Amino acid sequence: MEFLSPMELFQVTNFLAKEHDLLRVFFNMSDERNSAYVTTLLQTWMHNDV
């Protein structure tokens, strides 16, 4: 995910590592869907001030 900053990559990786079911789904999606998922996840965190 070249579009992520090092901190964003760290946050997303830590989140997915703790959520095994989501991690399985994530790796079964296409790269395009993965990018959309991560972007949405980060936007949700920013919106909710996480």
- Domain encompassing residue 37: 12-42
Which pair of structure tokens corresponds to residue 28?
């079964």
The pLDDT tens digits for 5-43 are: 999 999 999 999 999 999 999 999 999 999 999 999 999
Task: Indicate whether 47 belongs to any domain.
Answer: no
Asked whether the beta carbons of 13 and 47 are under 8 A apart, the reply is no
Does 28 fall in a domain?
yes
Domain tally for the chain? 1
Q: Would 3 be classed as within a structural domain?
A: no
What pTM was computed for the model? Answer: 0.78
49 occurs within a structural domain: no
Classify residue 38 by burial, with Cβ atoms within 10 Å: 0-12, 13-18, 19+. buried
Q: How confident is the model at residue 49 (pLDDT cuts 50, 70, 90)?
A: confident
Q: Could you tell me if residue 20 is inside a domain?
A: yes
Q: Residue 17 domain-assigned?
A: yes
For residue 50, the model assigns a pLDDT of 67
Would 27 be classed as within a structural domain? Answer: yes
